[in-house]
Structures are given as C-alpha cells and as structure tokens.
C-alpha cells in the first residue's frame, strides 16, 4: 500500500485553528522567548548603565552556554516525571517559578559593586531558561499530530519572537522611568504569569510510558535515532539544511556597515525588517505546510531560502541602497523563516514521545551547529574575498542541504504519516 493511501486525512484550516492546542503552543513559545532577551539585550543595557566596559559586557555573553549544552540534562527530564501536572507540565511549572525567582533576584544586585554575582545569577537564569525550552519543545512534539506540526512550529515561532521583543522593550521602558530594580520585578511577575498557561494546558496523549532507568533514557533514544532507516542521512540533512542561510546572516551587521549604512539605520530599519519578515515567514510557512506536507514544504522552502541568498549578493554589487537593502533583508528572512519551520517540523517528526526531551534537544543542537561554527571561516572569507564572493559561497553551501532533501525524500515522506 502506498504512503499516500496510509496518510491520514488532512484537516481544514478551520478544524486546526479551532484546536486550543495552537493557542497553548503559542503561549508556551512566548514563555520560551521571554527570558532570552533578559540575559542578552536587557542585561547588556543594565551593565552599560552601570558603567561597565564593552569587554566585560562581551564576556558576560558566555552565560548563554547552557543553551548549547541542554541535551546533557534533557534525559533526566524524560526519566523523572514529577507527581504534578503530568510528565511535561510538572517540570514546566517548576522551571517557570525558578525563572521568576531568579529574575527577581537581579533586583537586589548592583553590577557596579559585584559583577560576579550578576554573572552567576544570569547563568542560573539561562540554565532554567534552557531547561524550560527542553520541556516546551518536548511538549509541542508530544501534543502535535503530523498535520499540525507546521502550524505548531509557526505558533511557537510567533510567540517566541514577539515575547522576546516585548520583554526587552518592557525592560528598557520601565528601567528608563522607574529604574532597573522595578524593571526586574515587573519581568519576574510577568514570568510567573506563564504558570497559568502551564496549569491550563492540555496534557499530551502519551502512547508509551517514560523510560524506567537513566541508562534507558539515553541509550534507547540514541539507538532510536541512529538505528532507524536513513538515520545518518537525516542527521546530515538537519545539519546542512540551514547552513546557507546561517552563513548569509552570520555577519549581517558588519556587511551593512561596510556598505555605508549607519548603526542607527541598521537598528531602526534593517532589524525591524528582519524581525517582521521572520515572523511573517514563520506564519506563512506553517500555513503552507498544512497543504503541502513535510516533504514538499522542505523542497519548496529549501529552494526559496537558498535562491534568495543571492539578494544579498545583488546588494553587495550595488552598494548602499535603502530600497534594495530592505527588499533583500525582507525576502531572505521571509524564506529563511519558512525553512526554519520546515526543519522544526522534521525534528518533531523524528522524535519518539518517550524520549522527546532528549531527542529534540540533541537534534536542535545539531541544527544550530553551523550558526556557531561559521564565525571564523565566514570572517576570513569576507576579509579576503569580499562581500560579493561571500554571498556566492553562502548560496553554494546551501545547495548540499537542498540536495539532501531530495536524496532523503522517501524517508521524509514516511515521517509525515508517523504518529
């Protein structure tokens, strides 16, 4: 029997949107994005106000390391469910309360007197934030049916990006008018409010019990991932699918500055276009995935996200041009966000609900590797080859990921009917 014959009926938009799950997934995406900018942009502004040097501010960005290491403790969250609110929501409640308390603790600190205390607190916030992300990713994976994965990824993306921006904006506005102590207390209260969403969220329909030993929570999912048909090819696909887009945006700000755009122009225009187009791309990608399915979405979005890199190549040849800069930024980020939705849906499809915390954390780190490893080679290429060469290379390195989609097309199509 063909895969098409086995595929479940595709629901209509009205049927999917009427499900309360999407609203919960969006709200949990907002909870995931909320603490992110507190320990990045808001923390940097606070330290700048306190008179700290750019060197100190730069060193404190390393508190984000737990986001890359979260797969190390993810198996514990699969193995040890709490006796409250089910396997996922119990841990979510704990991490959200811990986040609220640790954010509030920033209000009693003074970076001018003790930077180390601020750094330790920020590291604790990031640890709890990364842990919350593990559980939210697992919950979204467990609760979403195959036909819902695209919209679930889009809802999460919308909530995450919108709330990350709101947290940063709220921090600066309150701090500007009432001081940083009041800002952190307001942020802590807002973080605590997300526990209401966790309390009301529906529990996923688990088809298998959690692992019974810690060894089982690590070894079995590794065998599950690596022992499945085409496993190595799928892992290569996850690593390479977004590599062209990651390179295109890796040095985005220096690229625009070299073309003659001022920092104000970049901050007010380019960043606004980048954020809005990324949100639009996430929503559009999720909607299209309902009709296209996983395979056709990855093929279409993969082609679009690769070809549109050439818009930056055109900008590099043209030089400073506001219309072209806005168009290139908008179209590249729109399609890159669509590609991101498809990749998230692929990772969700690969996860087993017994081990989704560990499997999703591990696969998502693999997907992020190019973003963190490209810095050195990208900078060297920009310095020695120029920006036009840089974006031609970015376009070329995007092609292998697209080719891997075609090579793995039968396996991807099979994932689309797996429940």
pLDDT of residue 99: 95
pLDDT of residue 101: 94
Exposure on the CB side of residue 34, measured as CA atoms within 13 A: 26
Tokens in use for 237? 């696909």
Domains of the chain: 13-206 (1.20.1250.20), 212-419 (1.20.1250.20)
pLDDT of residue 7: 46
Convert the pLDDT of each residue in 175-203 to its tens digit: 878 888 888 899 999 999 999 989 888 87
Encode the chain (419 residues) as per-residue pLDDT tens digits: 444 444 444 555 555 555 677 788 888 888 888 888 777 777 777 777 777 666 666 667 677 788 888 888 888 888 888 878 777 888 999 999 999 999 999 888 887 777 888 888 889 998 999 999 889 988 888 887 777 777 787 788 778 877 777 777 777 788 878 888 888 899 999 999 999 989 888 877 776 677 777 777 778 777 777 777 777 888 888 888 888 888 887 777 677 778 887 766 666 666 677 778 878 888 888 888 878 888 888 899 999 989 999 999 999 988 888 888 888 888 888 888 888 888 888 888 887 777 778 888 888 888 877 776 766 677 778 778 888 888 999 899 889 988 998 988 888 888 766 55
Question: Burial, 210: exposed, middle or buried (Cβ in 10 Å; 0-12, 13-18, 19+)?
Answer: middle
Listed in sequence order, the residues at least 6 apart from 37 whose beta carbon sits closer than 8 Å to its beta carbon are 164, 165, 167, 168, 171
Convert the pLDDT of each residue in 18-60 to its tens digit: 567 778 888 888 888 888 877 777 777 777 777 766 666 666 7
Alpha-carbon distance 6 to 91, whole Å? 36
Going by the DSSP 8-state scheme, the letter that residue 210 receives in this structure is P
The DSSP secondary structure of 35-54, one letter per residue, reads TTTIIIIIHHHHHHHTT--H
Asked if 66 contacts 79 with a C-beta cutoff of 8 angstroms, the reply is no
Alpha-carbon distance 153 to 184, whole Å? 29
Alpha-carbon distance 416 to 296, whole Å? 11
Alpha-carbon distance 281 to 274, whole Å? 10
| pTM to 2 decimal places | 0.74
pLDDT of residue 267: 62
**Strand, coil or helix: what is 308?**
coil
Neighbours of 162 (CB within 10 A): 16
């Amino acid at each position: 029997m063909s895969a098409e014959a086995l595929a479940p009926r595709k629901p209509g938009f009205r049927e999917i949107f009427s499900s309360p799950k999407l609203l919960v997934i969006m709200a949990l995406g907002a909870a995931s994005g909320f603490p992110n900018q507190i320990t990045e942009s808001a923390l940097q502004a606070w330290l700048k106000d306190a008179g700290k040097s750019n060197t100190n501010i730069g060193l404190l960005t390393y508190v984000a390391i737990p986001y890359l290491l979260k797969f190390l403790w993810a198996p514990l969250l699969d193995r040890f469910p709490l006796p409250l609110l089910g396997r996922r929501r119990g841990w979510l409640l704990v991490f959200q309360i811990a986040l609220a308390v640790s954010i509030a603790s920033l209000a009693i600190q003074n970076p001018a007197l003790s930077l180390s205390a601020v750094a330790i607190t920020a590291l604790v916030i990031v640890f709890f934030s990364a842990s919350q992300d593990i559980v939210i990713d697992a919950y979204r994976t467990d609760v979403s049916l195959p036909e819902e994965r695209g919209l679930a990824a889009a809802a999460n993306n919308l909530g995450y990006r919108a709330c990350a921006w709101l947290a940063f904006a709220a921090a600066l506005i309150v701090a500007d008018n009432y001081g940083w102590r009041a800002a952190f207390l307001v942020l802590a209260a807002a973080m605590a409010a997300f526990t209401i969403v966790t309390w009301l969220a529906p529990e996923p329909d688990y088809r298998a019990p959690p692992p019974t030993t810690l060894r089982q929570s690590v070894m079995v999912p590794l065998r599950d991932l690596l022992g499945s048909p085409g496993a190595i090819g799928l892992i290569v696909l996850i690593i390479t699918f977004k590599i062209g887009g990651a390179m295109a945006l890796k040095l985005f700000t220096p690229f625009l500055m070299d073309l003659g755009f001022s920092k104000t122009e970049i901050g007010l225009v380019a960043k606004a276009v980048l954020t809005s187009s990324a949100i639009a791309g996430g929503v559009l990608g999720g909607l299209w995935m309902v009709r296209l399915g996983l395979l056709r979405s990855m093929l279409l979005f993969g082609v679009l996200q690769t070809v549109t890199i050439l818009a930056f190549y055109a900008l590099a040849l043209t030089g400073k041009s506001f219309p072209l800069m806005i168009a290139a930024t908008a179209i590249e980020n729109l399609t890159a966000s669509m590609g991101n939705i498809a990749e998230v849906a692929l990772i969700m499809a690969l996860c087993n609900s017994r081990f989704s915390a560990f499997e999703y954390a591990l696969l998502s780190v693999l997907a992020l590797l190019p973003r963190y490893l490209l810095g050195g080679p990208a900078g060297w290429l920009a310095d020695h080859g120029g920006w036009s060469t840089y974006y031609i290379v970015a376009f070329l390195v995007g092609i292998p990921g697209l080719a891997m989609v075609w090579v793995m097309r039968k396996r991807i199509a099979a994932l689309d009917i797996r429940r």
